[in-house]
């Protein structure tokens, strides 16, 4: 790797770390200033809203199947239903994911056999 490439990789790495770190430090200082208030209450409302919305957005992005045909969408829909059904029953993190992947995989495999 050339030295210019090294600098580019390091700049990307340090920049990404600072994007993740600096807002946290800002918020910690803000919380310190508002000492005594409940931390969650001290958070600006727009910021508290953006957290769950970002997670929902990343869910939306990841829900779009890699293969954009009927099998891909059907497998995703069945995977989602299986995940939700097991989550509704168990309220746990791991098993719903296992069930979702298994259901998604079953549809892909069955479709591949035909």
Partner 1 sequence: MIDQTTSVSSRPWLSGVHEAFPLLGGYVPVAISFGLIAVQAGFTPWEATLISTLVYAGASQFLFVGMIAGGAPLWLAVVMTLLINVRHAVYGPNLAAWMNASRWWPWLMHGLTDQIFALAHHRFPQLPEAQRLGWFAGAALLAWASWILGTVLGALAGDWLMARWPLLGEILPFALPALFLVLVAPRFTSKRWSLALAISIGVAMLCTLTDYTNIGIPIAAGCGALCFTLIRFTPHKEPS
Smallest distance, partner 1 to C-beta of residue 13, A: 4
Residue 41 C-alpha from the chain's centroid: 24
Using only the alpha carbons of the chain, give its radius of gyration. 21
| Selected binder of partner 1 within 49, 69, 89, 110 (CB under 8 A) | 49
Is there binding between residue 109 and partner 1 (CB under 8 A)? Answer: yes
| Selected binder of partner 1 within 36, 68, 110, 113 (CB under 8 A) | 68
Residue numbers 25-44 binding partner 1 by CB under 8 A: 25-28, 31, 38-40, 42-43
Look at the block and give the residue holding tokens 């807002």: 23
| Selected binder of partner 1 within 74, 77, 85, 87 (CB under 8 A) | 87
| Selected binder of partner 1 within 35, 36, 46, 70 (CB under 8 A) | 46
Query: 36 in the Ramachandran plot: left (φ > 0), alpha (ψ -120 to 50) or beta?
Result: left
Where b means 16+ CB within 10 Å and e means fewer, 11-31 reads: eeeeeeeeeeeeeeeeeeeee
Smallest distance, partner 1 to C-beta of residue 70, A: 15
């Amino acid at each position: 790797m050339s030295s210019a490439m090294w600098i580019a990789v390091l700049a990307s790495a340090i920049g990404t770390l600072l994007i993740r770190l600096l807002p946290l430090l800002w918020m910690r200082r803000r919380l310190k200033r508002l000492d005594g208030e409940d931390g969650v209450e001290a958070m600006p409302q727009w910021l508290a809203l953006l957290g769950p919305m970002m997670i929902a957005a990343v869910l939306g992005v990841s829900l779009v199947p890699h293969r954009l045909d009927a099998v891909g969408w059907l497998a995703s829909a069945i995977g989602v239903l299986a995940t939700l059904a097991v989550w509704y029953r168990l309220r746990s993190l791991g098993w719903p994911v296992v069930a979702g992947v298994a259901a998604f995989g079953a549809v892909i495999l069955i479709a591949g056999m035909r």
